[in-house]
Amino acid sequence: LIYDLKDQGGEECSLRYDLTVPFARYVAQKSISNIKRYHLAKVYRRDQPAITKGRMREFYQCDYDIAGIYDAMIPDVECVRVAVDVLRRLDVGGFVVKVNHRKILDAIFEVSGVPQEKVRAISSAVDKLDKAPWMEVRREMTQEKGLEEAVADRIGQYVQISGPGEEVLAKLRALPELMASAKAQEGIKDMGLFFRYAAIYGILDYVSFDMSLARGLDYYTGIIYEAVLVEENVRLPTAPESSAKKGKGDAVDESQIRVGSIAAGGRYDELVGMFSSVMHAKGKKTDVPCVGISFGVERIFSIVKSRRSEAEIKANRTQVYVISLGDTLTDSLLEDRMRIAAELWDAGIAAEFAYKVKPRPQAQYDACDSAIIPWAVIIGKDEIGQGTVKIKNMAQKVEEEKGGVTVPRTNMIAELKQRLQMN
């Protein structure tokens, strides 16, 4: 899925697949022992695009990572808390953060008898359980991946377990074959801490312990997590009306396919060490444990946009529009509008006005409405002569304030700040 390229000199290059690997390389290159950072940038995937599911070849990701040696699960649970906070504030709708542990998953494959050379392929198949029923995944394991049926059945006993953290932990601890694995014991101990800390952070209601979560990337070494919408079907506004995939028989409306994950990540303790061993002259490997989460920016934007009407989406931060009324042939009032705008800017209030010497009144009202600017300061010759302005609520049509409220020019800033706080 990586775009491989060559420059003019024939040197092999590639477009970055994610922001995690470049971050690990930077930490190794600069010999950083601890850092907390976020990064918003473009990444590229040589994948089959599915616009209706928010999957594109070029898109933005936002990563939040914590690198350094800390006590178990403290930074890990913070990353999930950050994800929950972000998704709640963006109002993406109902969501759940699925969590699992790679050590537990590795132990499951080990005790089930999966050959080492098939672990990656079987892990990829297990990861499809959120989109396909178990029997379909089992068929892929046995018929396409060549796994023995008895081994697949043993895996199925484990990976179909999901639910609240403490319930799943209790079920896992009651499985003697699994608990005989040192890896499983380490993973379950970590997850016990995670759910204890998650309760303190008040995010348990958003988290589900899902044994089918595998995450395809090899560099994960501990906890893994993925945020998904709980709504079964979410149509994104980027989907063209004609975007339907036709197969054998009936056409499949791709716009009704689930969006999938909107954020994901996990712990990757050995990635920095892989780069440090290459960069240092003596080949010394210096591991810096890391954990982080990545948000699919455009996918989240599409979801947020789909939940709102066009009228609710405000593309600017302007709070006040300065309007002048009068005869457009004789009355300019441009300089008065400029003075008021400057006064508003000096007070920290985002304001705009028409860039015309003699704008038509209706054109100014239309500009205010189309930009969804909530307040207007209105002036005319009478207001200028009397040292007053009219303040009008443009967002709510208040009957008693239909033409605006007249206030002294000297009180304009204080009045606007009070009204802006009320909103």
The whole-angstrom separation of Cα 1 and Cα 44 is 9
> Where residue 287 falls among pLDDT bands split at 50, 70, 90?
confident
pLDDT value at residue 283: 59
pLDDT of 331 reads 67
Which amino acid makes up residue 405? V
Is the pLDDT reported for residue 375 higher than 90?
yes
34-48, 124-138, 326-340, range with the lowest pLDDT? 326-340
**Residue 248 confidence (pLDDT) above 70:** no
- The pLDDT confidence band at residue 257, using thresholds 50, 70 and 90, is very low
Averaged pLDDT score across all residues of the chain: 86
In tens, the pLDDT along 176-186 reads: 999 999 999 99
pLDDT given for residue 217 in this prediction:
64
Convert 67-85 to b/e letters by CB count within 10 Å (16 or more is b): beeeeebebbbbbbbbbbe
User: Residue 24 carries which side chain, given as an amino acid letter?
Assistant: A
Q: How confident is the model at residue 398 (pLDDT cuts 50, 70, 90)?
A: low
Per-residue pLDDT, 255: 35
Listed in sequence order, the DSSP H helices in 49-203 are: 74-90, 102-112, 119-126, 134-139, 149-159, 165-173, 176-179, 182-200
Q: Is 343 exposed, middle or buried (0-12, 13-18, 19+ CB in 10 A)?
A: middle
Q: What is the pLDDT of residue 22?
A: 92
- As a residue count, the chain comes to 423
Mean pLDDT on 250-264? 56
Percent of the chain as helix, strand, coil, to the nearest 5: 45, 20, 35
Residue 282 phi, psi dihedral angles, 5° rounding: -90, 5
Listed in sequence order, the residues at least 6 apart from 250 whose beta carbon sits closer than 8 Å to its beta carbon are: none
**This prediction's pTM:** 0.76
The residue with greater pLDDT, 239 or 209, is 209
- The per-residue pLDDT for 3 is 83
Mean pLDDT is lowest, of 84-98, 155-169, 216-230, for 216-230
Residue 116 pLDDT more than 80?
yes
Query: What pLDDT, on a 0 to 100 scale, did the predictor assign at position 332?
Result: 76
- Residue 26: Cβ-neighbour burial (10 angstroms; 0-12, 13-18, 19+): middle
